[in-house]
């Protein structure tokens, strides 16, 4: 079974909250590589961060889980639970987020859309699991509780660990409490130790199964899914990215030079973006594929183009897709970027200080004037890059700008950018980024009292597109940039 078949099975299957979708943590996060033996032998003392990250492996064995508990008893004893919650959130935002499977996000969102009760379960601690659940919008988390006295951990598990039958027992108890129908429910895991969990569900699925789980699933007729591994950048990626930055600067200079005879800044800026972004993507080995709505990149103009924001390379992707006649908004911090800062200033990007609402409103007045003069604007309405493919809440500024200027907004939905380059990384990998442009939206008739609901409806268009990507006629309609 492939991912599309799994998603179709969810959409056409039983709906409602009595159906559970139970995800083991290993089916959601690609675990970290195991430390070599010599590093484990000579590691100096217990360290909470290293212990929490070190426990996140694919296909944990009995021995590895036992060692994790031993290390946790040393590293976490005497630590305040509140401090460990903060540490877990910090580790997620610095490291773990990059290991989330995009395919798991699709499954989770599809189960949510079906009204299912989604549960994230793990033999690990809440300090490792809860931050991912929060970012993925999973409301129910079952994990091994750690004993604490007055908010300070003792270092020992409280009661039964959620390992093997313990995990299945916890899910069974949760199902009884919430009156769930496990016979029609779904379970996903990557570990043969979770056979008891898979056996509970009417629709069990092995995810990236190791050898023993592959055999067990085949014997029982259970489907298996293969997710793409979430690997850290390799030396070749670093080298290619460095070369791409050189190509960006060279392409930008060549673009400006090619139109310098016109002495028109706008033409030079468009050539800068065209040459610079094209050279960058070529050197990186990144292909842009516009699968639908390519005509909206050029008509109507001017417009406010809204794009979902996952990667620092979105500032390369969006100008290439829109092909000139566009500038943008950027956070003030980007002025400090030695590469993107000067280039963005040259093409007329307006930088705003998000910490100062008064300055932000004042800075947006020239943007409205720019639109009225015929130049389009590209804006990320989330205001910041997301840690998952999830589209964050939209700020209303872009919609106010479009209303004041009397122009439509055009959604630009980007898929895979976070796989090419992780949220906090300046390193990119080879691959394909898919883009879909949706029909223009006239915001002029929106009633101010209904603005929140209208903005939320636009955000839902992005989620719907990401979950139901317009691939049916992609080969016929796609445009490669």
Q: Is the peptide bond before 302 cis (omega within 30 degrees of 0)?
A: yes
Rounded to whole angstroms, the Cα distance separating 196 from 175 reads: 15
Residue 294: exposure state from Cβ atoms within 10 A (0-12, 13-18, ≥19): middle
Q: What 3-state DSSP class applies to 14?
A: coil
Q: Could you write out the DSSP letters of every residue in 214-244? A: HHHHHHHT--EE-PPP-PPPPHHHHHHHHHH
Rounded to whole angstroms, the Cα distance separating 23 from 205 reads: 10
Rounded to whole angstroms, the Cα distance separating 208 from 30 reads: 10
Rounded to whole angstroms, the Cα distance separating 440 from 411 reads: 7
Q: Is the CB of residue 354 less than 8 Å from the CB of residue 361?
A: no
Q: Give the pLDDT of residue 360.
A: 61
Which residue numbers in the chain have pLDDT < 50?
A: 36-42, 472-476
Q: Give the pLDDT of residue 331.
A: 76
Taking the model in full, what pTM does it have? Answer: 0.89
Cα of 22 vs its chain's centroid, Å: 20
Rounded to whole angstroms, the Cα distance separating 396 from 382 reads: 9
Q: Could you write out the DSSP letters of every residue in 35-91? A: PPHHHHHT--S--HHHHHHHT--TT--HHHHHHHHHHHHHHSTT-BHHHHHHHHHHH
Q: Which of 122, 147, 152, 102 is nearest to 57 (CA)?
A: 122
Q: Is the peptide bond before 278 cis (omega within 30 degrees of 0)?
A: no
pLDDT digits 0-9 by tens, 315-330: 999 999 999 999 998 7
Q: Give the pLDDT of residue 90.
A: 97
Question: Which residues lie below 8 Å from residue 98, measured CB to CB, with a gap of 6+?
Answer: 230, 232, 422, 423, 425
Q: Give the pLDDT of residue 42.
A: 43
Q: Give the pLDDT of residue 332.
A: 78
Q: Give the pLDDT of residue 472.
A: 45
Q: Is the CB of residue 52 less than 8 Å from the CB of residue 127?
A: yes
Q: Is the CB of residue 49 less than 8 Å from the CB of residue 91?
A: yes
């Amino acid at each position: 079974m492939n991912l599309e078949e799994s998603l179709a099975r969810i959409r056409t299957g039983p709906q409602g909250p009595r159906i559970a979708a139970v995800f083991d943590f290993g089916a959601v996060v690609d675990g970290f590589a195991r430390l070599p033996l010599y590093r484990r032998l000579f590691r100096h003392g217990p360290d909470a961060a290293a212990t929490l990250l070190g426990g996140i492996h694919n296909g944990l064995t009995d021995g590895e889980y036992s060692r994790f508990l031993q290390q946790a008893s040393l590293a976490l004893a005497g630590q305040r639970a509140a401090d460990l919650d903060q540490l877990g959130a910090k580790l997620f935002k610095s490291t773990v987020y990059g290991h989330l499977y995009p395919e798991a996000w699709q499954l989770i969102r599809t189960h949510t859309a079906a009204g299912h009760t989604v549960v994230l379960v793990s033999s690990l601690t809440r300090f490792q699991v809860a931050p991912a659940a929060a970012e993925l919008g999973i409301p129910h988390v079952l994990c091994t509780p750690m004993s604490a006295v007055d908010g300070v951990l003792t270092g020992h598990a409280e009661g039964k660990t959620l390992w093997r039958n313990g995990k299945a027992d916890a899910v069974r108890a949760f199902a009884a409490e919430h009156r769930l129908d496990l016979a029609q429910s779904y379970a996903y895991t990557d570990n043969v130790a979770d056979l008891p969990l898979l056996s509970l569900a009417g629709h069990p699925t092995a995810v990236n199964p190791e050898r023993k789980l592959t055999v067990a699933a085949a014997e029982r007729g259970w489907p298996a899914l293969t997710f793409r591994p979430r690997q850290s950048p390799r030396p070749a990626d670093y080298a290619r990215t460095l070369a791409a930055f050189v190509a960006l600067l060279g392409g930008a200079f060549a673009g400006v030079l090619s139109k310098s005879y016109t002495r028109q800044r706008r033409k030079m800026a468009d050539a800068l973006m065209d040459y610079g972004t094209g050279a960058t993507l070529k050197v990186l080995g990144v292909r842009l594929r516009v699968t639908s709505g390519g005509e909206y990149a050029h008509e109507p103009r001017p417009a406010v183009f809204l794009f979902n924001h996952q990667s620092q390379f979105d500032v390369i992707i969006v100008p290439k897709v829109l092909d000139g006649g566009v500038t943008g908004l950027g956070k003030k911090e980007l002025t400090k970027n030695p590469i993107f800062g000067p280039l963005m200033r040259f093409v007329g990007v307006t930088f705003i200080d998000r910490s100062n609402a008064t300055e932000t409103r004042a800075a947006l007045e020239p943007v409205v004037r720019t639109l009225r003069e015929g130049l389009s604007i590209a804006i990320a309405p989330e205001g910041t890059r997301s840690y998952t493919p999830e589209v964050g809440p939209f700020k209303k500024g872009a919609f106010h700008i479009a209303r004041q200027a009397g122009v439509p907004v055009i959604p630009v939905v980007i898929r895979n950018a976070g796989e090419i380059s992780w949220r906090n990384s300046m390193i990119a990998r080879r691959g394909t980024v898919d883009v879909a442009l949706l029909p223009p939206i006239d915001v002029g008739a929106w009633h101010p009292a209904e603005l929140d609901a209208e903005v939320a409806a636009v955000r839902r268009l992005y989620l719907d597109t990401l979950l139901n990507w317009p691939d049916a006629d992609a080969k016929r309609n796609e445009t490669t940039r």
